[in-house]
Amino acid sequence: MAAVQVSEAEKVYILHGIRDDLRVDGRGCEDYRHMEIETDVVSNTDGSAKVTLGHTAVLVGIKAEIGKPRPMVPDEGYLEFFVDCSANATPEFEGRGGEELGTELSNTLYKVFNNKHSVDLKSLCISTGEHCWVLYVDVLLLQCDGNLYDAISVAIKAALFNTKIPRVHISADDEGGKEIELSDDPYDCMRLNVENVPCIVTLCKVGHRHVVDATLQEKACSVASLIISVTHKGTVTCTRKVGGGSLDPESIFEMTEAGKRVGKALHAPLMKLLQQEESLGKKHQKVGFLG
């Protein structure tokens, strides 16, 4: 991933600062950078959201398509993830440079989001064993400035909130053939319940302490970080360690607790913001990508 070169002196400066709960940009250890969210930014998706976190920018688009349910869970739909590391984000992604990171990210996202505890997959079922909605979640990295997971998870949650799936009716004819009928009102849509959709909090171990929403410089000083997905109730649904270094059990516990706390606090304002945006309706002017 995009790495920055940090000199020894800088490292010491950052480490000492974090030790005293004061980071280079003035934040505390559990503070996020400035975050901007806008939904419904791509008109030809069923749901989309753009999130900027510091200089990190991600765009998530969700397309709903009709597919066949997985044989093990015939009454559920499912999500598919694809992360595109655009070379816009950093020159390292050029060519196939971003592929590895993309796969890693999409695998993690799949683990976090594609389960019935996070998203109500049963509501995506159209007819048991035959048709279900498949949500293709496409993540596009526009700019990398650290803490991709958190930004992506927030964007996914916002995009799922924004997703409008056209309502379909199954009409069965006399001899059992099923026909999918589409409502001719484009406003007649199904919305997803995103209450339980978790957000990911990445905690970076820097020195003896850990920080939330690490910048690239801070990341360079860290050897390992922990990814925790937390629901609005504070339930941890998934944890994962990334990075080359090791973590001792005690700090894992500490970091989990901190992640729960931060994650729980993240949901409420996010939902409030999304509802507020929704209530503005169609009339309000979009900021878009040039704003």
Partner 1 sequence: MLKSKTFVKKTRSGGVMKIVREHYLRDDIWCGSESCSECKQESTVLQRDACIESNLCPYAHYLIPDTNVVLHQIDVLEDPVIRNVIIVQTVLQEVRHRSAPVYKRLKDIIHEKEKHFYTFTNEHHNETFVEREPGESANDRNDRAIRVAAKWYSQHLKTSKSDPDGLKVVLLTNDQGNKEKAEESGLLVYKCEEYIKSLIANPELVDQLALSNDDKNEITSSKMLFPEHLPLSRIQAGIKSGSFLQGTFRASRDNYLEATVFVQGEGEDSTEGLQNLNRGVHQDVVAVQLLPRDQWVAPSSFVLQDEGAAKDDDAEEEEDRVLRISAAEAARKPTGKVVGIIKRSWRPFCGMLNVSHIKESTRHLFTPADRRVPRIRIETRQAATLAGQRIMVAIDGWPRHSRYPNGHFVRSLGSAGDKETEQEVLLLEHDVPHQAFSQAVLSFLPKMPWSITPEDMVKREDLRHLTVCSVDPPGCTDIDDALHCRELDNGNLEVGVHIADVSHFIRPGNALDKEAANRGTTVYLCGKLIRAVTMFFFDFIRMAFSCIWEMNHKAEILKTRFTKSVINSKASLTYAEAQMRIDDTTRTDDITKSLRGLNKLAKILKKQRIQNGALTLSSLEVRFHIDSETHDPIDLQTKELIVFVCAMLSFQHTTVHLVIRETNSMVEEFMLLANISVAQKIYDEFPDCAMLRKHPAPPPSNYDILLKAAKSKAVEIHTDSAKALADSLDVAKVDNFPYFNTLLRILATRCMMQAVYFCSGMDSDFHHYGLASPIYTHFTSPIRRYADIIVHRLLAVAIGADSTYPDLMDKHKQSALANNLNYRHKMSQYAQRASVAFHTQLFFKSRGILNEEGFVLFVRKNAIIVLIPRFGLEGTVFFDTKDKATPNLVFDEEGPTLKVEQHTFCIFDKVKVTISLDDSNIQHQKIRMSLIDPVIPGVSVPAPDVEPQAKKPKLDR
Residue 174 lies near partner 1 (rule: CB under 8 A): yes
Q: Which is nearer to partner 1, 159 or 266 (CB)?
A: 159
How big is the site for partner 1, counted in residues (CB under 8 A)? 22
Binding window for partner 1 (CB under 8 A); candidates: 41-49, 51-59, 80-88, 137-145 = 41-49
Binding window for partner 1 (CB under 8 A); candidates: 11-19, 110-118, 167-175, 233-241 = 167-175
**CA gap 213, 25 in Å, rounded:** 12
**CA gap 122, 133 in Å, rounded:** 10
Evaluate whether 173 touches 117 at the Cβ level (below 8 Å). Answer: no
Of 20, 173, 248, 250, the residue at the interface with partner 1 (CB under 8 A) is 173
Binding window for partner 1 (CB under 8 A); candidates: 9-17, 40-48, 117-125, 223-231 = 40-48
**Helices marked H in the chain — which ranges?**
8-19, 99-113, 148-162, 216-221, 249-280
Strand partners, 164: 191
Residue 175 lies near partner 1 (rule: CB under 8 A): yes
Identity of the residue numbered 182:
L
Residue 65 lies near partner 1 (rule: CB under 8 A): yes
- The DSSP output letter for 214 is -
Beta strands 168-172; 131-143: pairing state? unpaired
Residue 43 lies near partner 1 (rule: CB under 8 A): yes
Residue 245 φ then ψ, to 5°: -80, 180
Of 66, 73, 190, 242, the residue at the interface with partner 1 (CB under 8 A) is 66
Q: Which is nearer to partner 1, 185 or 248 (CB)?
A: 185
Strand partners, 58: 51, 141
Residue 184 lies near partner 1 (rule: CB under 8 A): yes
Residue 290 lies near partner 1 (rule: CB under 8 A): no
Residue 180 lies near partner 1 (rule: CB under 8 A): yes
**Helices marked H in 115-236 — which ranges?**
148-162, 216-221
Q: Which is nearer to partner 1, 64 or 154 (CB)?
A: 64
**CA gap 134, 24 in Å, rounded:** 43
Binding window for partner 1 (CB under 8 A); candidates: 25-33, 43-51, 71-79, 238-246 = 43-51
Cα–Cα nearest to 270, from 106, 163, 153, 137: 153
Query: Under the rule (CB under 8 A), what is the footprint of partner 1?
Result: 43-46, 63-66, 166, 168, 171, 173-175, 177, 180, 182, 184-187, 282
